[in-house]
Structure 1
């Protein structure tokens, strides 16, 4: 049976949408009529999802098919792991998850995967129809669990991994919320003072013909520039950002830009930390699930966002394929922390690479969390200092002519 999405009218004329499993669209329409519904549209769930995405996707998107966000993927994985671990058959677990889902898109994806499983395909192969919903890391891990006969354990590890990824993203967004608001407010307050308050105040002194101090003259010049060209500068900045993003669609330019990012003092450290932490976590979950090391390195390289670092990791993968050790290949890369290299070397020497990679992943994630907390900790007082200094300069520039006027009187 296949999964079909439908739209129908009930007896009161309200439109209803959902997903039904049946052998054909004709059978779906008959089921709807038996339920007292008037069918309007019936489509294959997979075909409809791909058709919907084709209308929304851009030409440069590599993955095809409907997407699942991190929260949805984490929820589905945890539910599937719980049901499979409770000895419920896989097809029944997928059917139960699909039926209870209130999100039509999620239901369509799960029921389409269920239909493929019912046809005799493995779970990983069934998920391959939705590469944007189930990444290659996810499918490779599920495939390894199926072949090893430990799908329940692998699904639990995937559930932990996806939930941790979701929690990390949420914590980062919440941590950045206050600094970003503070930054925007600082810029808005200073710009408002320069554009509306300063011109009215200094106009009094200009009208009296008083010679203004250098600080006040500089402030007037900046204020006039913001009033006259502020909107033009803002438009140019937006155009520059848009043009830069368009230019980065070129693989060659993106590679050079990512290389330069890694060399910047603070941004480079953050880029290396985030990418190496993600790589270590992915490599850990793949190797512990039974995926061969070379295949695991190849898949894990896909989660690295920095294109230059991804290319360097691909070279390391080739070195391991030719017989080199993992720690030597990553050490030649030059971008992985020495502690991480040392721990991997220890794991290879003791024959406990899987458990050591898990410790490496935890260690890298802690270091990344500490780095993010440190950066945010510096950013907040930095914004307060910027706003305070800016306001102080404006006040001094306004008060200096008043002091001079009092001295003359």
Structure 2
């Protein structure tokens, strides 16, 4: 057992017993609760895949990753050692993954699929590629949203500050000429007054709703399976959101099912696991219906068409794959098509975002300017 492994066990046992290790316990607890950054996952998945491809046992592979100083993220290194210890204690692979608290449900399902199908190294390589692409997309989205968000914040500050600065002079002029302020101006002044003088009240509300005993019951209520399905169905009523969510779920379904069929897994359990890999509650709910149709003797494309969640081209690709006995190949091709389409949709949305933000800011500025000029027109008329 490596020295770092022994140190980890000593630290974890001391934390459980309430004992203090000088200089170690605080750092240990910080690492155990700290979130794992997105750029650490590709290296983690690829390193684990290389170890398994070299014939190293999975428990030892996690230990090697944990001992790799300067490679994997230090928090992820600690979690890898926790997984190694859980596996050595006889826990199942799925249960041991609970230590990776930042691991997405999609990752968990894909790793379980890889273990059950005997293709865990291939799944890890695919997840590494997937995470690299996802992280690059995330960085692109962040960079594209930075400028619009700064502009929106700047305009909102001006919208709140300008009415407060000119309020006294405008109201004094209106009172002098016995004029009443317009309704919309009263609304703007009231909002500006609230943000200017009621900041402490707003801060109190913020801390109230971010206090765990207050929001945790609400989160638990909305995180139930029934509410998750209901919320997702409501989201599906928005065409653009439906397109992106369904496309992502279909993409994951195609990738998970293709990887299982490539190694000769049976269609029934493979479809169930593929539905779970989507992590979409609407798709997961439809898994039982598809399973019943497959057991009744229907073809896969017929069963998928009945749930009305997959696009027509997806059904057509599955049908062609079944007729030509190349279903895994067609599913892999479908996955690439869906991935390219999703990236194109995101790129198009980001390209349209900046003009829309500028249009919104122009409307806000014009509205505030009109409110400030409207009393002047009333004064001119009285004169």
TM-score (norm 1): 0.69
Corresponding position: 1:77 with 2:51:
no
Corresponding position: 1:144 with 2:127:
no
2:109–2:277 CA contact under 8 A, matched in 1: no
- 1:187 corresponds in structure 2 to 156
Shift of 1:311: 0.9
Corresponding position: 1:130 with 2:97:
yes
Question: Which has the larger helix fraction?
Answer: 2
CA offsets 1:110-156 (integer angstroms, 9 cap, x no match): 3455567789x8xx95564224536132132134236xxxx654543
2:293–2:303 CA contact under 8 A, matched in 1: yes
Q: Which runs of 5+ in 1 are unaligned?
A: 7-17, 26-38, 57-65
2:94–2:108 CA contact under 8 A, matched in 1: no
1:182–1:380 CA contact under 8 A, matched in 2: no
Q: Distance in 1 between matches of 2:248 and 2:46?
A: 25
Q: 1:272 aligns with which of 246, 252, 260?
A: 246
Instruction: Name the CA shift for 1:94/1:261 in 2 (closer, same or farther; >3 Å).
Output: closer
Does the residue aligned with 2:331 lie in a helix, a strand or coil? helix
Q: Distance in 2 between matches of 1:81 and 1:226?
A: 56
Q: Distance in 2 between matches of 1:114 and 1:247?
A: 34
Please show how residues 121-270 of structure 1 align to structure 2 within 5 Å: 125-126=92-93, 128-131=95-98, 133=100, 135-145=108-118, 152-194=121-163, 196-209=164-177, 211=179, 217-227=182-192, 235=205, 245=219, 247-270=221-244
Q: Distance in 2 between matches of 1:154 and 1:273?
A: 21
Please show how residues 317-396 of structure 1 align to structure 2 within 5 Å: 317-396=291-370
CA offsets 1:241-299 (integer angstroms, 9 cap, x no match): 95864541343333322211111233333332333333333333343354433323222
CA RMSD of aligned residues (A): 4.2
- 2:16 corresponds in structure 1 to none
CA offsets 1:39-73 (integer angstroms, 9 cap, x no match): 86999xxxx99xx97xx7xxxxxxxxx98665434
Instruction: Name the CA shift for 1:172/1:349 in 2 (closer, same or farther; >3 Å).
Output: farther
Q: Distance in 1 between matches of 2:97 and 2:4?
A: 16
Shift of 1:78: 0.9
Shift of 1:90: 4.1
Shift of 1:408: 6.0
Instruction: Name the CA shift for 1:126/1:251 in 2 (closer, same or farther; >3 Å).
Output: closer
CA offsets 1:85-106 (integer angstroms, 9 cap, x no match): 4x46446655543321454543
CA offsets 1:192-238 (integer angstroms, 9 cap, x no match): 334x23523422422322546xxx613322123314555578949x9
1:283–1:357 CA contact under 8 A, matched in 2: yes
Aligned length, in residue pairs: 354
Instruction: Name the CA shift for 1:198/1:220 in 2 (closer, same or farther; >3 Å).
Output: farther
